Structure 1
Amino acid sequence: MDPIREAELMMTRRQLFGKTTLGLGTAALSRLLMTGGMAGGLAAAAMGSEGHKGLAGMPNFAPKAKHVIYLFMNGGPSQLDLWDYKPKLNDIYDTDLPDRVRRGQRITTMTSGQTRFPIAPSRYKFKKYDNQADGVWVSELLPHTAGIVNDLCVVRSMWTEAINHDPAVTYIQTGSQLPGRPSMGSWVSYGLGTENENLPTYVVLHSKVSSGKVDQALFSRLWGTGFLPSEYQGVSLRSSGDPVLYLTDPDGMDRTTRRGMLNDLAKLNEMQLGAFGDPEIAARITQYEMAYRLQTSVPDLMDLSKESADTFELYGKEAHEPGTFAANCLLARRMVERGVRYIQIFHRGWDQHGNLTGDLPMQTKDVDQACAALVKDLKQRGLLDDTLVIWGGEFGRTVYCQGALSHENYGRDHHPRAFTVWMAGGGVQPGIAYGQTDDYGYNIVDKDGAVIDPSVDTLTPGAVHVHDLQATILNQLGVDHTKLTYRYQGRDFRLTDVHGHVVKDLIK
């Protein structure tokens, strides 16, 4: 056989496509000569001299928001004890949830074996804060958040199909209950690109919990890229030691040596890129270069010593302690100032199946002052208008008690059929409470009090599905959620799958 023909037959599909991309190596080399650094040149060739600037045509229209701060309360905060005031429940304490209210809806295995579903009214007082005819009711557990209620868009009619933690968290973070899809922050990073050269586009922060109760694990796939190129994943900053692993040069290595090592490594990666054309190699070059820049930008970001005493008073004394929710909220404001596009703050421990009255006050104490401080701080610095702040969990809690009921203490099971989130800034309507539930806080109802079956009445005003929330968030960033797509395995995927509607009543 002809040796050339034999070589062609032995060539893999990837190698074949890789041969067609040799021009990319030449382009990278020419960029290198202009920028004076091999790694910098290759990163610039792959991503543009100032980093990835987003897809052509994105944003699709003028954005109301440029940044997102998502405050995620992992575990399912009890909306009935925080936001969804149901005073009539006190009159039916310890009576069974009527079948006409439950309507045969799915419940978890943790309560499916109970012979009774006793009504457990909230033991906390509520107050209405007027900025409209209906007003916004807020629990006594959130006194600081109550002080910013005129800036909040409180959505009391969220719903999801997922009833267990991992699929529910995966759903609201990635648009699918099954692992493997890109996170919302990755979609935003991919579509809109970066506003800074020295920090990641998408940053993830994990918060310490005072109660020590962190039952539910958080997996890196929740801020991962799924099938998108890996440079769009969230960068998780640690609360102790180096914020990013290996940020500090090891003993015996200085910046000049590190720069030389990265240049040599980039040459090897350039050879691989030319041979195989794998986009992940270009992503790797970019990530190495970003890691190098993080060595100077991250320490400056994490250094809170220049923040004023008034700022620390606003956020609370916990803001002095790295890794607390308060410190993370302060860092989020600093990131917005530096052009970070998407910031995710996780706070765990909201899964109160028992001892709700013991755990919930500690959870709210962790986050209440800092949430209010973040909104106030952004507002006074002129940053709230183009920063969308979101607060909420993956689902809510049941009106009935899990296990034994006592007026002093109780627990609540998962409730996906109706829960509460709030948003602030970024072009959303301030000072409103949107959507309502029945007298039991169990089902979403329309303005006339009729129960909405959101899985059927998808266009009925009032109910807000997970995909509707995601579509609305993207809309505020100037993105049509149906147009932000990525072709994978023969079809175009998007964050909202084939669902989702922008909830226009929530936006200005």
Structure 2
Amino acid sequence: MEKELLEHGLNMNRRRFLTGLGMGIGGAALGSLLVPDLLNPQSVEDAIVAGLPHFAPKAKRIIYLFQNGAPSQLDLFDYKPKLQQMHGLDLPESIRKGQRLTGMTSGQAKFPLAGTAFKFNQYGEHRAWMSELLPHTSRIVDDLCIVKSLYTEAINHDPALTFFQTGAQVGNRPSMGAWLSYGLGSENKNLPAFCVLLSKGKGNGQGVYSKLWTNGFLDSIHQGVQFSSGEDPVLYLNDPDGMDKTERRKMLDHLSTLNNEAYDQVGDPEIKAKVQQYEMAYRMQTAVPEVTDLSKEPESIIKLYGGDCLVPGTYAANCLLARKLSESGVRFVQVYHQGWDSHGNLPKELAGQCLDTDQASAALITDLKQRGMLDETLVIWGGEFGRTNYCQGKLSKDNYGRDHHPRCFTMWMAGGGVKPGVYGETDEFGYNIVSNPVHVHDFHATALNLMGLDHERLVYKHLGRRYRLTDVAGKVINDLIA
């Protein structure tokens, strides 16, 4: 009985869907609308393993532009005239309130406030403040939902980054993309539901690791597939020398027979997952070269993203590739851009990072919008925490650094059912949240809600406990939803 339940949970197919649903023709019609490939004449082995949303989704897919290292919200989005006026003066203790500091600044005798070195202006219908470093993003500001009141408990990069990606500061938990793959599956049987793209800027970098796109305790078919900037976008995908497509098909068929016999003996669901991975890799041999080929993009698109979009591995190239992957049915595309960790020489490093990212980020929104995809694609931009309003180390008029600040920071979202505008507010020093706080768990709950998933119902039982992306917390921020 237990073995049958395992097999039923792992192998959703047409017969089981129509039999178990118990809603006759109406249920079949609903199923074909929500999962278009469900009723196509294909073999059970080729069927897409896909779930159904808990309710009607506003978004079908997510592109997450993660700015690894933590961009300074005070130099980009959260303009504070008070900091300009008090530049060089010590941060009042009444504002800091003895809150936790990192080891890099906890030994400082003073905490000199650092006003931004950059000019700010207000843009768009909501008069959102934007730095001169973001001229392209300023032009699309009316498409953005700018959240200034994010906060987290983690104060160092690795736990904070892990927390944003997996909902926990420790490792071995499924990542956000893995949860969406588990909950919704892929829209394209020839591509993974979850893809990962990496780029690195000119600033101080923080590493990213495969644990950030892990499947954790979910089946391995939900792990993120990393794309490379090299000659082979997905490593080990091509056939080895001396083996053609026909021979590879025969080999996979024989391997599948052996694996199915092993599954019949031991009932390990990971065996079935491996079979599905082999089949996916076989189909990806055709799909990946096509989707990663940027040579057919028109000149207008190249101009929109900037010339760097033709250089594999750059942020611009990854933004364009993210659009192509999303257009091809990939459920979750995770872009990591490293280089935002500005503990010193912030004005120069930040300007370089924005030069790498501003145009391409705005281009992605514009591109999705002109293709009619933005309404169904949730785009997220932000890092793991913010930066302090005081200077780390020596302060001068035009040069300063900022330490980690988890108490408040800014992210933006666009498309996918979010409400454009500015949400949340920080105090006049940019140190504490004064209205509409949004915790990381709240952010996850809201993103899942936009995808049609109830964060309290998207669960997986592991070692006797029911796990979810939001752990035992999180609430949907309905004010962010259009």
Same fold (TM over 0.5): yes
- Aligned equivalent of 1:463: 437
Structure 2: which amino acid aligns with 1:67?
R
- Aligned equivalent of 2:53: 59
Greater shift in the superposed pair: 340-349 or 251-260: 251-260
Deviation at 1:373, TM superposition (A): 0.3
Structure 2: which amino acid aligns with 1:495?
L
- Aligned equivalent of 2:469: 495
Structure 1: which amino acid aligns with 2:304?
L
Within 2, Cα distance between the matches of 1:88 and 1:179? 40
Within 2, Cα distance between the matches of 1:345 and 1:331? 10
Deviation sequence 1:354-406 (CA, Å, 0-9, x none): 11112111111111000000000000000000000000000000000001111
Q: Work out whether residues 18 and 275 of structure 1, in 8 Å CA contact, stay in contact via their aligned partners in 2.
A: no
Q: Is residue 428 of structure 1 aligned with residue 418 of structure 2?
A: yes
Q: TM-score, normalised by structure 1?
A: 0.87
Identify the match of residue 96 of structure 1 among 90, 98, 101. 90
Deviation sequence 1:5-31 (CA, Å, 0-9, x none): xxxxxxxxxxx9769989999999x99
Deviation at 1:258, TM superposition (A): 1.1
CA 417–265 in structure 1, closer or farther in 2 if over 3 Å, else same = same
Within 1, Cα distance between the matches of 2:194 and 2:178? 7
Q: Work out whether residues 68 and 341 of structure 1, in 8 Å CA contact, stay in contact via their aligned partners in 2.
A: yes
CA 281–141 in structure 1, closer or farther in 2 if over 3 Å, else same = same
- Aligned equivalent of 2:172: 180
- Aligned equivalent of 2:69: 75
Q: Work out whether residues 164 and 384 of structure 2, in 8 Å CA contact, stay in contact via their aligned partners in 1.
A: yes
Deviation sequence 1:160-200 (CA, Å, 0-9, x none): 00000010001011001111110011111101111111000
CA 315–492 in structure 1, closer or farther in 2 if over 3 Å, else same = same
CA 17–119 in structure 1, closer or farther in 2 if over 3 Å, else same = same
Deviation sequence 1:191-218 (CA, Å, 0-9, x none): 1111111000110000132x1642x221
- Root-mean-square deviation over aligned CA pairs: 2.2
Structure 1: which amino acid aligns with 2:441?
H
Equivalent position SS for 1:250? coil
CA 147–18 in structure 1, closer or farther in 2 if over 3 Å, else same = same
Within 2, Cα distance between the matches of 1:471 and 1:19? 32
- Aligned equivalent of 1:505: 479
Within 2, Cα distance between the matches of 1:336 and 1:163? 33
Q: TM-score, normalised by structure 2?
A: 0.91
CA 144–495 in structure 1, closer or farther in 2 if over 3 Å, else same = same
CA 205–24 in structure 1, closer or farther in 2 if over 3 Å, else same = closer
Q: Work out whether residues 19 and 274 of structure 1, in 8 Å CA contact, stay in contact via their aligned partners in 2.
A: no
Structure 2: which amino acid aligns with 1:118?
P
- Aligned equivalent of 1:449: none
- Aligned equivalent of 1:473: 447
Q: Work out whether residues 19 and 276 of structure 1, in 8 Å CA contact, stay in contact via their aligned partners in 2.
A: no
Deviation sequence 1:261-311 (CA, Å, 0-9, x none): 111211221121111111111000000000011110000011111110000
Q: Is residue 441 of structure 1 aligned with residue 430 of structure 2?
A: yes
Q: Work out whether residues 204 and 342 of structure 2, in 8 Å CA contact, stay in contact via their aligned partners in 1.
A: no
Q: Work out whether residues 24 and 274 of structure 1, in 8 Å CA contact, stay in contact via their aligned partners in 2.
A: no
Deviation at 1:326, TM superposition (A): 0.6
- Aligned equivalent of 1:485: 459
- Aligned equivalent of 2:301: 311
Within 2, Cα distance between the matches of 1:463 and 1:423? 16
Deviation at 1:94, TM superposition (A): 0.8
- Aligned equivalent of 1:253: 243
CA 507–94 in structure 1, closer or farther in 2 if over 3 Å, else same = same
- Aligned equivalent of 2:114: 120
**What percent identity do the matched residue pairs reach?**
58
CA 150–229 in structure 1, closer or farther in 2 if over 3 Å, else same = same
- Aligned equivalent of 1:145: 137
Q: Work out whether residues 203 and 352 of structure 2, in 8 Å CA contact, stay in contact via their aligned partners in 1.
A: no
Q: Which runs of 4+ in 1 moved over 2 A?
A: 16-28
Identify the match of residue 110 of structure 1 among 97, 104, 113. 104
Q: Work out whether residues 96 and 119 of structure 1, in 8 Å CA contact, stay in contact via their aligned partners in 2.
A: yes
Deviation at 1:344, TM superposition (A): 0.4
Identify the match of residue 388 of structure 1 among 378, 383, 388. 378
CA 123–279 in structure 1, closer or farther in 2 if over 3 Å, else same = same
Q: Work out whether residues 192 and 280 of structure 2, in 8 Å CA contact, stay in contact via their aligned partners in 1.
A: yes
Q: Work out whether residues 21 and 274 of structure 1, in 8 Å CA contact, stay in contact via their aligned partners in 2.
A: no
- Aligned equivalent of 1:8: none
Is the radius of gyration larger for structure 1 or structure 2? 1
Within 1, Cα distance between the matches of 2:389 and 2:53? 42
Listed as ranges, the gaps of 5+ residues in structure 1 are 1-15, 32-42, 447-461
How many positions carry a matched residue from both structures?
Answer: 456
Q: Work out whether residues 22 and 274 of structure 1, in 8 Å CA contact, stay in contact via their aligned partners in 2.
A: no
Q: Work out whether residues 17 and 276 of structure 1, in 8 Å CA contact, stay in contact via their aligned partners in 2.
A: no
Q: Work out whether residues 203 and 353 of structure 2, in 8 Å CA contact, stay in contact via their aligned partners in 1.
A: no
Structure 2: which amino acid aligns with 1:343?
V
Deviation at 1:419, TM superposition (A): 0.2
Equivalent position SS for 1:207? strand
Within 2, Cα distance between the matches of 1:180 and 1:471? 20
